Amino acid sequence: MPSAARTGAGPAPPRRVPLPPLLAALCVVAALCVALLLSLVCGAGLGASGLSWGEVLRHLWAGLSGGVISPDEVAAYTIVWELRFPRALLAAVVGAGLSAVGVAVQAMVRNALADPFTLGISSGAAVGANAVLLFGALGALGIWALSAAAFASALCAMILVYAVARTAQGLTPLRLVLTGTAMYYGFSAISTLMVFMAERGEAARSAMMWLLGSLAGATWTSVPIAAAAVLAGLAHLAVSARRLNALAMGDETAAALGVDAGRLRKELFLLAAAVTGAVVAVSGAIGFVGLMVPHAARMLVGADHRRVLAVAPLAGAVLLIWVDILSRTVLAPTELPVGVLTAVIGVPCFLVLMRRRGYSFGGGA
C-alpha cells in the first residue's frame, strides 16, 4: 500500500459526524425557546409608537413584578403591557396551537397537504363570527359574543363533519378529507353571502379582517382561554406521540403495534376541532401555519412525532409573533391581515420545500 507522501495524495478531509437525533432535537428546542423569549420582547417593543428598549423592558418588568410606575409613564406602560404584550402572547398561543393541530391532522388523515382548516372547522367558526360582526347576534354576551359565537359554530361544524364522515367502519382518512373540504367550501360560501348581504361599512370591514386573520382584539381576558385549550391539546398529543407514529404508517401497521386506529382518529378529530375552534375564535382564520410548520419541523428533527411535537409548537409560536409584528409595522398605522402575510410567506417557503431533495413530506408524497 503506497503511502500518502509517495502518491502525492493529501490526508483525507475530516468527516462531519452528525449529532444523534435526540441531541439535535434538544438543540433545536433550546434555540427555539430562546427565540421565543426574544420574540415576545420584540412583540412588546415594536410598533407604530416608538419606545426605547429600556422603556419596554422596564414596563414589562413592572407588569410581571407588580412594580410601580410614574404618572407620566402610564401611556407607554399601557401600550407595552395592555396592548402589545398580550397580543404577542396570543400570537404565540395561536401559532403553537395551529402548528400542533397541523401535526395531528396530517397524521390522522395521512395526507401531506392536510392542515387545521381541512376539517372545515375554521370556516364553520367564521359563520358564527360573521353573525356577531354583521348582524349583532349574541349581543347580550358583550365582549364575549364574538368568541362564543365562533366557538359554538365551530363545534356545530365539527358535529356535522363527524356525522357525515363517520361510517360503520369508523372515520376513514379519505372520507374525513373529502367531507372537511366540502364543508369548508360550503361554510365559506355562507360567510361570503353574509358579508354580501350586510350593509357596507365598518362592520363589513371588520368581518373581512376577521376572515383573513387578525390579532388586533387580543386582551388579557382572551389569552388564558386560548392558552388553556392549546396546552390541553399539546399535553394529549405528547402522551399520544408513539400512537401517532404507528398511525402515520397505516391502519394495518398500527393494529399490528396494538394501536386502535379508529379510536385514535376519533380522539384526534375531537382534539383538532376543539383547539382549532378555540384559537380561530380569538384570531380569525389564519392559514398556512398548520400546513407549513409541521413540514419544517420534520425537516429539522425527522418524522418521529415525539420530536416533531416538541419543535412544531415553538416554531409556530415564533413565526406568528413575527408575522403579527410585520402586520402592524409594514404599513403603520394601517394594519395588514395576518392571514395574508402567512400566505405570502408560506407559499414560497412551501414551494422551496417541495423542490428540496431528500424530503418526502412525511412519507406521504
DSSP letter string over 287-333?
-SHHHHHHHHHHHHH-S-HHHHHHHHHHHHHHHHHHHHHHHHHTTTT
The predicted-structure confidence for 59-83, as pLDDT tens digits, reads as follows 899 888 887 888 888 888 899 999 9
Dihedral of CA 310/35/116/174: which sign? negative
pLDDT attached to residue 233 = 94
Residue that wins the pLDDT comparison between 348 and 8: 348
Residue 363: pLDDT band with limits 50, 70, 90? very low
Residue that wins the pLDDT comparison between 54 and 205: 54
CB-CB contact of 183 with 243 (8 Å): no
pTM equals 0.86
Interatomic CA distance for residues 236 and 120, integer angstroms: 22
pLDDT at residue 95 tops 90: yes
CB-CB contact of 261 with 107 (8 Å): no
Alpha-carbon Rg for the chain, nearest whole angstrom, is 23
Provide the grid cell at 159: 358535529
Per CATH, which fold does 54-64+72-356 belong to?
ABC transporter involved in vitamin B12 uptake, BtuC (1.10.3470)
pLDDT attached to residue 9 = 53
Interatomic CA distance for residues 10 and 167, integer angstroms: 67
Interatomic CA distance for residues 132 and 125, integer angstroms: 11
Interatomic CA distance for residues 282 and 211, integer angstroms: 11
The predicted-structure confidence for 229-262, as pLDDT tens digits, reads as follows 999 999 999 999 999 999 888 888 888 989 888 8
